[in-house]
């Protein structure tokens, strides 16, 4: 996954930050940068070759890892059921045909007041509802109750049209398929302190039910709706998946922990076509060269925020300021390499040593040096250093600077031997339990493949 992400950066000009760095330096030097898809053919060839290597060879070079359970089937919900001691406090009741023609509302049942039971949901013809007080039961409905077993039995015995069914089947998976559990903590000075969950109207306003609370190191599952909240209380919410995911209280009110793998909420799904249109517009405007890529990208991001697709705080948090500062601080280095004559000196050295073998070997030397540097150093920084050198070497050889710059871009993306040169290989290190030797065994052939693509494909489309 990490290697394909790195290789995929060679498909478009905006695939990676180092592409834009090389593009900018080339434009300053030669008067014209790269087109949006100009070097995509190189990325496609490298991607296909890497797929073949990974499928037939690479996967056998990595140690076998035990397959992990799908986190959707094993994480937050099951843990919270155990943590709040709910395993034997969930029961089902079935509404029989005896109730047909009669009107029985949830309010009339007084489940909570008489029996201390929480009605979590009603299942009707395969659909599931968060039943409020004005919800009328119908024959064939199944009620999901939370409380003590005796209370559930007492309730069903009182109403002749309601039959006690016992605990839900496959309780270990409850309620992943249709709803979820989530936890929140009451922070200091929260305005909800001193109020009960019933008074806050979580159920009416957000379709969420507080079915338990955690206080003084102990879980409490009974009469959770009536407890006056204190600082540090943990609240266990139950609700439909969309309601759980859409609930976003401020941290001053509740510190809320959404469960499982982040998902797109129903509200955001509606905006998906608009987000796609904005992305396509950015690409079209960039390809047509109507405005600079930076302007198109910032404009697209601004539209995303204004349309409510992403809120400003999340957009701000998504910016990696360390990388921006790093690139901004290092960019003058590339200019200094040119103006101080250092790029000429290094380029002269490469040409003096390798120039007798031809431009292709000089390009290979620059690519190899770039690949070595980009293993421990961020690829954007390496691009800043190597692009002026590559342009100077190409000019000294009377060769094509664009070809040399594409070689630098592909080499900068070949961060396969170490985990520290780019976030992608670092992100998979812990989940895959990879060590330094794993990276070298798996990555070295990929570097060789990348070098082969540079030396074969680039000269075909950009003659040296």
* Rounded distance between C-alpha atoms, residue 366 and residue 17, angstroms: 20
| Higher-pLDDT residue of 282, 120 | 282
Q: How many CB atoms lie within 10 A of CB 366?
A: 26
pLDDT for res 446: 94
Per DSSP, the three-state class of 173 is helix
Encoded tokens for 344: 């000429």
Say what the pLDDT of residue 179 is: 64
Could you tell me the CA-to-CA distances from 311 to 268, 315, 316, 317, 318 in Å, in that order? 11, 6, 9, 10, 11
The verdict on 116 and 240 lying in the same domain is: yes
pLDDT at 205 over 80: yes
Rounded CA Rg of the chain = 31
- 366 alpha carbon, distance to own chain's centre: 35
The pLDDT value given to residue 98: 67
Q: What is the mean pLDDT of residues 204-226?
A: 84
pLDDT at 347 over 50: yes
**Shared domain check, 202 and 95:** yes
Mean pLDDT of 107-124: 84
Least confident of 2-6, 238-242, 272-276, 429-433: 429-433
Cα–Cα–Cα angle for 191, 261, 188, rounded to 5 degrees = 20
Confidence of residue 124 (pLDDT cuts 50, 70, 90): confident
Going by C-alpha positions, the residue among 98, 174, 184, 170 that lies closest to residue 141 is: 98
Residue 176 predicted with pLDDT over 80 = no
Cβ(183)–Cβ(236) under 8 Å? yes
pLDDT at 203: 81
* The pLDDT of residue 264: 60
Shared-domain flag, residues 328 and 298: no
For residue 58, the model assigns a pLDDT of 87
Q: Which of 149-153, 216-220, 299-303 has the lowest mean pLDDT?
A: 216-220
Residue range 159-180: mean pLDDT, rounded:
62
User: Do 135 and 209 reside in the same domain of the chain?
Assistant: yes
Residues 367 and 333 in one domain: yes
> What angle (nearest 5°) sits at the alpha carbon of residue 339, between those of residues 334 and 340?
95
**β strands within 67-216, DSSP E:** 90-95, 118-124, 127-129, 142-146, 162-166, 179-185, 209-215
Residues 278 and 374 in one domain: no
- Is 412 within a domain? yes
Which carries the bigger pLDDT value, residue 152 or residue 1?
A: 152
Which of 383, 421, 425, 423 lies closest to 404 in space, CA to CA? Answer: 383
Asked whether residue 338 falls in the same domain as residue 365, the answer is yes
Q: Among 73-77, 99-103, 229-233, where is mean pLDDT lowest? A: 73-77
Same domain, 413 and 454: yes
Residue 366 in domain: yes
The percentage of residues in the chain with a pLDDT greater than 90, rounded to a whole number, is 24
Separation of alpha carbons 140 and 97, rounded Å: 7
pTM here is 0.58
C-beta separation of 405 from 26 below 8 A: yes
Q: What pLDDT is attached to residue 429? A: 72
Answer yes or no: do 33 and 140 share one domain: no
Q: Is residue 266 part of a domain?
A: no
What is the rounded distance in angstroms from the CA atom of residue 239 to the CA atom of residue 203?
Answer: 9
Is there a single domain that holds both residue 56 and residue 94? no
Helix (H, G, I), strand (E, B) or coil at 211: strand
> Is 108 inside a domain boundary?
yes
Rounded to whole angstroms, the Cα distance separating 450 from 302 reads 36
Is the Cβ–Cβ distance between 89 and 221 less than 8 Å? Answer: yes
Structural domain tally of the chain?
Answer: 3
With beta carbons less than 8 A apart as the criterion, state whether 147 and 118 touch. yes
Which stretches does DSSP call E strand in 42-195?
90-95, 118-124, 127-129, 142-146, 162-166, 179-185
Mean pLDDT of the region 51-63: 89
Task: Round to whole Å and give the CA distance between 437 and 417.
Answer: 9
Lowest-confidence region among 290-304, 316-330, 447-461: 316-330
Q: What is the dihedral of CA 78, 80, 85, 89, to 10 degrees?
A: -70
Domain assignment of residue 212, yes or no: yes
Q: If you search the block for the tokens 């929140």, which residue do you land on?
A: 184
Tell me the torsion sign for CA atoms 310, 312, 314, 316.
positive
Give, in order, the Cα–Cα distances in Å from 109 to each of 112, 119, 162, 299: 9, 10, 11, 56
Which range among 15-24, 300-309, 401-410 has the greatest average pLDDT? Answer: 401-410
- Pick from 145-154, 223-232, 384-393, 424-433: least confident: 424-433
Quote the pLDDT of residue 77: 55
CATH number at residue 204: 3.30.70.1450
State mean pLDDT over 71-77. 44
Average pLDDT, integer, range 357-385: 90
Q: Is residue 313 part of a domain?
A: no
Residues of the domain holding 292:
272-308
Which of 280, 308, 336 is where one domain is finished? Answer: 308
Q: Does pLDDT of 221 surpass 80?
A: no
Q: Which of 238-242, 258-262, 307-311, 431-435 has the highest mean pLDDT?
A: 307-311
* Residue 202 pLDDT > 70: yes
CA dist 179 and 239 (Å) reads 6
With cut-offs at 50, 70 and 90, classify the pLDDT of residue 168. Answer: low
The whole-number average pLDDT for the span 396-407 is: 94
Tokens of 48: 């296909």
Q: Can you tell me the mean pLDDT for 267-284?
A: 86
Q: In this structure, is residue 386 part of a structural domain? A: yes
Tell me the backbone φ, ψ of residue 236, rounded to 5 degrees: -105, 115
- Residue of 343, 339, 334, 337 lying closest to 366 (CA atoms): 343
User: Do 390 and 457 have their domain in common?
Assistant: yes
Co-location of 233 and 372 in the same domain: no
Q: Has residue 337 got a pLDDT over 80?
A: no
**pLDDT score of 107 more than 90:** no
What pLDDT was estimated at residue 287? Answer: 83
Q: Is the dihedral of CA 379, 382, 383, 386 positive or negative?
A: negative
Please indicate, yes or no, if residue 264 is contained in any of the structural domains: no
Percentage with pLDDT > 70 across the chain? 86
């Amino acid at each position: 996954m990490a290697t394909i992400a790195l290789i995929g950066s060679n498909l478009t000009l905006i695939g990676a930050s180092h592409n834009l760095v090389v593009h900018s330096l080339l434009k300053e030097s030669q008067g014209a940068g790269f087109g949006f898809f100009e070097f995509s053919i190189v990325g496609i060839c490298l991607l296909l070759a890497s797929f073949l290597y990974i499928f037939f060879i690479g996967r056998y070079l990595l140690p076998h890892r035990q397959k992990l359970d799908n986190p959707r089937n094993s994480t937050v919900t099951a843990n919270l059921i155990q943590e709040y001691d709910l395993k034997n406090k969930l029961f089902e009741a079935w509404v029989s045909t005896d109730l047909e023609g009669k009107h029985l509302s949830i309010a009339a049942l007084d489940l909570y007041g008489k029996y201390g039971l929480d009605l979590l949901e009603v299942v009707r013809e395969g659909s599931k509802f968060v039943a409020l007080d004005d919800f009328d039961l119908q024959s064939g409905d199944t009620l999901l109750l939370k409380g003590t077993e005796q209370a559930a039995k007492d309730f069903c015995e009182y109403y002749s049209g309601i039959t006690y069914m016992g605990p839900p089947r496959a309780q270990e998976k409850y309620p992943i398929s249709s709803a979820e559990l989530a936890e929140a903590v009451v922070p200091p000075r929260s305005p909800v302190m001193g109020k009960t969950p019933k008074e806050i109207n979580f159920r009416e306003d957000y379709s969420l039910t507080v079915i338990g609370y955690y206080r003084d190191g102990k879980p409490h599952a009974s009469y959770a709706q009536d407890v006056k909240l204190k600082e540090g209380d943990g609240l266990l919410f139950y609700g439909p998946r969309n309601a759980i995911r859409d609930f976003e209280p401020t941290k001053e009110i509740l510190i809320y922990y959404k469960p499982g793998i982040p998902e797109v909420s129903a509200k955001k799904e509606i905006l998906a076509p608009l987000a796609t249109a904005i992305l396509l517009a950015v690409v079209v405007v960039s390809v047509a060269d109507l405005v600079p890529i930076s302007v198109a990208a910032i404009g697209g991001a601004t539209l995303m925020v204004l349309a409510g697709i992403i809120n400003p705080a999340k957009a701000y948090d998504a910016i990696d300021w360390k990388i921006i500062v790093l690139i901004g601080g290092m960019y003058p280095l590339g200019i200094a390499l040119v103006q101080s004559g250092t790029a000429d000196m290094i380029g002269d050295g490469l040409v003096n040593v390798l120039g007798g073998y031809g431009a292709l070997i000089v390009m290979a030397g620059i690519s190899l040096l770039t690949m070595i540097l980009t293993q421990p150093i961020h690829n954007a920084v390496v691009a800043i250093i190597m692009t002026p050198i590559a342009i100077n070497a190409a000019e000294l050889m009377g060769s094509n600077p664009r070809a040399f710059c594409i070689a630098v871009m592909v080499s900068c993306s070949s961060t396969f031997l170490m985990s520290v040169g780019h976030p992608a290989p670092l992100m998979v290190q812990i989940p895959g339990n990879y060590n330094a030797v794993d990276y070298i065994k798996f990555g070295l052939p990929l570097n060789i493949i990348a070098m082969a693509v540079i030396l074969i494909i680039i000269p075909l489309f950009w003659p040296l």
